[in-house]
Amino acid sequence: MAKDHPDIEFDRELEDLPPELRWREWMRRIEAVLFASATPVPSADLARVVGQGASVELLIEDLAVGLSERPYEIARVTEGWMLRTRHAYAPAIRAAADLGEQDLDLREFDVAVLAAIAYHQPITREGLKDIFGKEISRDLIGRLHARDLITTGPRAPRRGAPYTFVTTDQFLVAFDLQSLQDLPDREQLEDSGMSNS
């Protein structure tokens, strides 16, 4: 997200403001950046709108407290931050708005393949075939890619090496995870009969 614009004069320090007002203005700047971004914003990018030496993490903590009575919250996703609606308001949003393409509309097998990618990434189509005992169609991979839930991962540095697949930040957002460490424990899933991969 970060773009340096050296020709734009921007007062990060706000030295003309008393410390309490300066802190509030920095909180508002962070909120404005998060509000305007459709993807998680890394802390390093947020640091560009506050004074040198100001703690982005402390500003976010204070902002989160200030938003505690609001219908949206600050969430950490991978190494970044984003604003998102609180879960309690999802039914109201669905009732009032045509969400169209926001529904993932995934089939049960799509979710199983997505879970296999999440747990085994980077993984090739051949690796998925080993897990499921059958070829995974390009259409299914295409659907997951079109929803920005997966992307291509690293390839071996040899000619003709197969593509691998990894999950995206959008995958984390869609499933309300901060990182892949928040995935359910695979052994627990297997014990409950919810997974066979």
Architecture of domain 19-90: Orthogonal Bundle (1.10)
Average pLDDT over residues 20-27: 95
Extents of the domains making up the chain:
19-90, 104-191
Q: Average pLDDT for residues 12-34, to the nearest whole number?
A: 94
Give the model's confidence band at 85: pLDDT under 50 very low, under 70 low, under 90 confident, else very high: confident
Output the pLDDT for position 178: 85
Q: What is the CA radius of gyration of the chain?
A: 21
Asked which of 17-26, 79-88, 186-195 is least confident by mean pLDDT, the reply is: 186-195
Domains 19-90 and 104-191 share a fold: yes
Tell me the fold of 104-191. Arc Repressor Mutant, subunit A (1.10.10)
In this predicted structure, the answer to whether residue 101 has a pLDDT above a threshold of 90 is no
